[in-house]
C-alpha cells in the first residue's frame, strides 16, 4: 500500500485525500515507511520527524474533514532541503558547523506550504551549504541516485531530487544558486523549477549567494511544480528582494498548446564538452515541440564560457560574507579547546566547515580583498551585466530558450571530488540563469545507453514562468513518466 | 597566479580559518588554479560596462521600522554552545 501511495504525484495524492480515499495520516505513514525501507541505501534525509509528521497529519486531516483545508497540497507529505529553517526541526545545511541547530522560526516558503496543508516529513540531504554539484560534500554522507546507486544524484539539492525519484516523498523543496535544483532533477529523472529571482521569498533560507539563491519545487511532473510554485510564491516583507508580480496562476498555463511559440536553441550550448547522447535527446525534444507547432530556431547566445568564472567569483564572495556568522557563539558547533576568542572563532570554523566550503570562503575573501576587488569581483559583476544583456537580446526574439541541463548524465560517486574545476564546469548550462535572474525548468527528455535520465532545460523571461511551464507541460505530454530502477526493484532493493 | 605563504596567511586571517600544513599547501594550489581559471574574464572587454549586482531594477525598499517579532531570547539561547543568565558566553576577551 505504502509503495503505491508514494508513486503518485503530489496533485494526484492530494485529490485522493480530498476525495477521502486516502487519509493524510496514511500518506505520511507511507512516506515514513518508504524512507525506513530505502534511505539506508539512498541517504536522502538528514532528519526524519516521524512523530511530528504523524501528529501534524492528524491535525491536517481534521482540518480537511471540517472543510477548512481544500487545496491541492493539503495532507500531502513533503521533504524540505536542509538549508531552510523549520521551527523546532534540526536544520544543518549538511554541515558539522550547524550540528544541533534548531531554528526558532520557519522559512516563508515552508510556512506557506504549511498554510496549504503540507505535512513535513523531514529535512533532505545536500552538499554542505549548497556548495557542490553531487551531494557528496555533505557532512552526513553522500546521497545515492535511485537510477544507479553507484552514481551521484547531482546537487546541491540531491537529497530532494533523489527522495522524489526514490518515491520517499511525492515532492520536495530545493534551492538553486547555480543549478542546484535543475541539475539534480535532471540526474534523477524528475522535474525541478528554479523560479525568477524574487518570485519566492528567501526568508529563512540559510544564505549561500544571496543575489543568486532561489527556492523552488522538485516533483515528478510539471503539474506538481506549478501547484507548489503557486503555493510558495509572492512578496514577503521579510525579504526585500521578493516582489509581487502578477502571472502567478501557474496551473492555468498548462494548456498543452505551443502553437507559434518561438523557441531559441543556443548553438554555443552544443559545442565541445557536451555528451553526444545528451545532445541527441535534447535536440529530439526540440523536434517534439516543433511537431506540436512551436517555431524552433538556432542562435548565438555568446559569453557562455564566461558564466562559470563570473559565477564562482560572485558566489564565493557572497559566501565568504554570508558564512561569517558561523563563529561558535550563537548556534551550532564550537571547538572543544581554544586559547582566546579569536582562536575560538578560527578553530570552530576550521573544524566545522568541510574542504569545499573552506575553498570557497577563501576564494571569496581573496577576491573581495583590497588590491584584488576591482580585478576580480567588479570584473565579475561587469561580466554578469553582459550576460544579462545577452539573454535580454535573445528574449526579444524568443519566448523560450531550450538546451541541456548538464553536459553529461549522472557521474559515478567519487569522480568529481578530486578536481574542483572539473566539477564546476558541469554547471555550464545552469549558472548563467542565476546570474541573469531568469526562471528555468529541468525535466526528463530521455535515457542514455546506460539507462540514466537526460535532463531538458527550458528558460523563460523574467517573471514569465507561465510560458516556460506551458512549453514544459506540452513536451511532457509527449512522454511517460519513468520510475527509477531502485523503486521498481530492478536494483538491489533491500 | 602564484599564491605565496604570505597571501594564504592573509586570506586565513580574513576568512578566520586556521589551516594545517597539508591543508595550507592544498589551499595554495587550489586557489592558484582557480584564479588562473577565472582570470579568463580578462579576455572580455568590459570597458564602460556598469557592474550589475541585481538582475533587475529594484530600488530601495522602504518599510516602517516597527517591531513585529516578540522576545524569543530563551528559545534562541537554547541553541548557544554556552549561555548564562540570558546571555551568550564567549572566551575572555581582555585581562
Examine the pLDDT at A224 and tell me if it is beyond 70.
Answer: yes
Q: Choose between A96 and A271: higher pLDDT.
A: A96
Q: Do B90 and A344 touch (CB under 8 A)?
A: yes
Residues of B in contact with A320 (CB under 8 A): 14-15
Q: What is the mean pLDDT of residues A376-394?
A: 98
**Inter-CA distances, A379 with A312, A360, A401, B50, Å:** 12, 18, 26, 10
The pLDDT assigned to A423 comes to 87
Q: Do B41 and A305 touch (CB under 8 A)?
A: no
Is residue A164 helix, strand or coil? helix
The pLDDT assigned to A404 comes to 98
Examine the pLDDT at A491 and tell me if it is beyond 60.
Answer: no
Residue pLDDT, tens place only, B76-89: 999 999 999 999 99
* Percent of the residues in chain A that have a pLDDT greater than 90, as a whole number: 94
CA dist., res. A70 & res. B27, Å (int) = 54
Q: What is the mean pLDDT of residues A466-482?
A: 97
CA dist., res. A77 & res. A455, Å (int) = 25
Residue pLDDT, tens place only, A358-375: 999 999 999 999 999 999
Residue pLDDT, tens place only, A75-90: 999 999 999 999 999 9
Band of residue B50 on the pLDDT scale cut at 50, 70, 90: very high
Band of residue A494 on the pLDDT scale cut at 50, 70, 90: very low
Residues of A in contact with B73 (CB under 8 A): none
Supply the residues of A annotated as catalytic.
81, 156, 180
Q: What is the mean pLDDT of residues A448-471?
A: 98
Of A312, A386, A420, which has the smallest distance from its Cβ to B38's Cβ?
A312
DSSP A374: I
CA dist., res. A199 & res. A152, Å (int) = 29
Band of residue B60 on the pLDDT scale cut at 50, 70, 90: confident
Q: What is the mean pLDDT of residues A338-346?
A: 95
> Residue A419's beta-bridge partner residues?
none
Examine the pLDDT at A317 and tell me if it is beyond 50.
Answer: yes
- Peptide bond preceding A156: is omega within 30 degrees of 0, i.e. cis? yes
Close Cβ partners of A251 (under 8 Å, ≥ 6 residues apart): A223, A226, A227, A230
Give which of A252, A27, A235, A1 is closest to A117, Cα–Cα: A27
Among A304, A315, A362, A377, the strongest candidate for a mutation testing the B interface, having the largest count of B CBs within 10 A, is A362
Is residue A299 helix, strand or coil? strand
**Helix and strand counts by DSSP (H, E) for chain B:** 3, 2
| B contact residues 11-40, partner A, Cβ 8 Å cutoff | 11-12, 14-19, 23, 27, 30-31, 33-35, 37-40
* Percent of the residues in chain A that have a pLDDT greater than 70, as a whole number: 98
C-beta separation of B93 from A340 below 8 A: yes
**Inter-CA distances, B45 with A303, A306, B42, B49, B58, Å:** 12, 12, 7, 9, 27
Residue pLDDT, tens place only, A107-155: 999 999 999 999 999 999 999 999 999 999 999 999 999 999 999 999 9
Chain A: residue whose CA lies nearest to B19: A350
The pLDDT assigned to A493 comes to 39
Band of residue A419 on the pLDDT scale cut at 50, 70, 90: confident
Q: For all residues of chain A together, what is the average pLDDT?
A: 96
The pLDDT assigned to A245 comes to 80
Question: Which secondary structure element, helix H or strand E, spans residue A368, and what is its range?
Answer: helix A355-368
C-beta separation of A172 from A160 below 8 A: yes
Examine the pLDDT at A68 and tell me if it is beyond 90.
Answer: yes
Q: Choose between B55 and A465: higher pLDDT.
A: A465
Residue pLDDT, tens place only, A420-454: 888 889 999 999 999 999 999 999 999 999 999 99
Residues of B in contact with A313 (CB under 8 A): 38, 41
Examine the pLDDT at A465 and tell me if it is beyond 60.
Answer: yes
Give which of A25, A16, A18 is closest to A58, Cα–Cα: A25
Close Cβ partners of A52 (under 8 Å, ≥ 6 residues apart): A88, A89, A120
CA dist., res. A213 & res. A207, Å (int) = 7
Check if B48 contacts A (Cβ < 8 Å). Answer: no
Query: Under CATH, which number does the domain B5-42 receive?
Result: 1.10.20
Examine the pLDDT at A492 and tell me if it is beyond 70.
Answer: no
The pLDDT assigned to A392 comes to 97
Q: What is the mean pLDDT of residues B19-25?
A: 92
Q: Do B14 and A358 touch (CB under 8 A)?
A: no
Q: What is the mean pLDDT of residues A176-203?
A: 98
Q: Sheet holding A191-194: strands in order across?
A: A45-48, A119-124, A77-81, A171-176, A214-219, A191-194, A440-447, A453-459, A400-404, A262-266, A295-299
The pLDDT assigned to A477 comes to 98
Examine the pLDDT at A272 and tell me if it is beyond 70.
Answer: yes
Query: A24 burial class (0-12, 13-18, 19+ CB within 10 angstroms)?
Result: buried
The pLDDT assigned to A191 comes to 98
Examine the pLDDT at A283 and tell me if it is beyond 90.
Answer: yes
Amino acid at each position: 500500500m505504502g509503495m503505491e501511495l508514494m508513486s503518485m504525484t503530489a496533485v494526484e495524492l492530494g485529490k485522493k485525500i480530498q476525495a477521502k480515499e486516502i487519509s493524510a495520516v496514511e500518506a505520511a505513514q507511507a512516506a515514513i515507511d518508504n524512507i525506513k525501507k530505502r534511505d539506508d541505501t539512498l541517504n536522502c534525509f538528514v532528519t526524519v520527524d516521524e512523530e511530528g509528521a504523524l501528529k501534524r497529519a492528524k491535525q491536517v486531516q481534521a482540518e480537511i474533514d471540517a472543510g477548512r483545508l481544500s487545496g491541492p497540497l493539503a495532507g500531502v507529505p513533503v521533504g524540505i532541503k536542509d538549508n531552510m529553517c523549520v521551527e523546532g526541526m534540526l536544520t544543518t545545511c549538511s554541515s558539522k558547523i550547524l550540528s544541533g541547530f534548531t531554528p526558532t522560526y520557519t522559512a516563508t516558503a515552508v510556512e506557506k506550504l504549511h498554510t496549504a496543508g503540507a505535512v513535513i516529513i523531514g529535512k533532505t540531504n545536500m552538499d554542505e551549504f549548497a556548495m557542490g554539484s553531487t551531494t557528496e560534500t555533505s557532512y552526513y554522507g553522500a546521497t545515492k541516485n535511485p537510477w544507479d546507486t553507484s552514481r551521484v544524484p547531482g546537487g546541491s539539492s540531491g537529497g530532494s531530487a533523489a527522495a522524489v525519484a526514490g518515491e520517499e516523498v511525492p515532492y520536495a523543496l530545493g534551492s538553486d544558486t547555480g543549478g542546484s535544483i535543475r541539475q539534480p532533477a535532471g540526474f534523477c529523472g524528475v522535474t525541478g523549477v528554479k523560479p525568477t529571482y524574487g518570485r519566492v521569498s528567501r526568508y529563512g533560507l540559510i544564505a549561500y549567494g544571496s543575489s543568486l539563491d532561489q527556492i523552488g519545487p522538485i516533483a515528478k511532473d510539471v503539474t506538481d511544480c506549478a501547484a507548489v510554485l503557486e503555493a510558495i510564491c509572492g512578496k514577503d516583507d521579510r525579504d526585500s528582494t521578493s516582489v509581487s508580480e502578477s502571472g502567478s496562476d501557474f496551473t492555468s498555463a498548462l494548456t498543452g498548446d505551443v502553437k507559434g511559440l518561438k523557441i531559441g536553441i543556443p548553438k554555443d550550448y552544443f559545442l565541445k564538452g557536451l555528451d553526444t547522447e545528451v545532445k541527441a535527446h535534447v535536440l529530439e525534444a526540440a523536434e517534439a515541440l516543433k511537431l506540436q507547432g512551436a517555431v524552433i530556431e538556432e542562435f548565438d547566445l555568446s559569453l557562455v564560457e564566461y558564466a562559470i568564472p563570473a559565477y564562482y567569483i560572485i558566489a564565493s564572495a557572497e559566501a565568504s560574507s554570508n558564512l561569517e556568522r558561523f563563529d561558535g557563539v550563537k548556534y551550532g558547533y564550537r571547538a572543544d579547546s581554544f586559547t582566546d576568542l579569536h582562536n575560538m572563532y578560527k578553530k570552530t570554523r576550521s573544524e566545522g566547515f568541510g574542504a569545499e566550503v573552506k575553498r570557497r570562503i577563501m576564494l571569496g575573501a581573496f577576491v573581495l580583498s583590497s588590491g584584488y576587488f576591482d580585478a576580480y569581483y567588479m570584473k565579475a559583476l561587469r561580466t554578469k551585466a553582459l550576460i544579462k544583456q545577452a539573454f535580454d537580446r535573445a528574449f526579444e526574439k524568443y519566448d523560450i530558450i531550450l538546451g541541456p541541463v548538464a553536459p553529461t548524465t549522472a557521474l559515478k560517486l567519487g569522480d568529481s571530488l578530486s578536481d574542483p574545476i572539473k566539477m564546476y564546469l558541469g554547471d555550464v548550462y545552469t549558472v548563467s540563469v542565476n546570474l541573469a535572474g531568469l526562471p528555468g525548468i529541468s525535466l526528463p527528455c530521455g535515457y542514455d545507453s546506460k539507462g540514466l535520465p537526460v535532463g531538458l532545460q527550458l528558460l523563460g523571461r523574467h517573471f514569465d514562468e507561465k510560458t516556460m511551464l506551458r512549453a514544459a507541460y506540452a513536451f511532457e505530454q509527449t512522454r511517460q513518466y519513468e520510475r527509477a530502477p531502485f523503486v521498481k526493484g530492478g536494483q538491489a532493493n533491500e | 597566479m602564484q599564491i605565496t605563504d604570505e597571501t594564504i596567511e592573509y586570506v586565513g586571517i580574513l576568512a578566520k580559518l586556521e589551516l594545517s600544513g597539508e591543508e595550507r599547501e592544498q589551499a595554495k594550489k587550489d586557489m592558484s588554479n582557480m584564479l588562473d581559471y577565472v582570470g579568463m574574464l580578462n579576455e572580455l572587454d568590459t570597458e564602460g560596462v556598469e557592474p550589475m549586482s541585481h538582475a533587475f531594477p529594484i530600488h530601495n525598499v522602504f518599510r516602517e521600522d516597527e517591531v513585529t517579532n516578540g522576545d524569543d531570547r530563551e528559545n534562541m539561547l537554547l541553541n548557544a554552545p554556552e549561555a548564562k543568565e540570558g546571555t551568550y558566553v564567549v572566551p575572555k576577551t581582555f585581562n
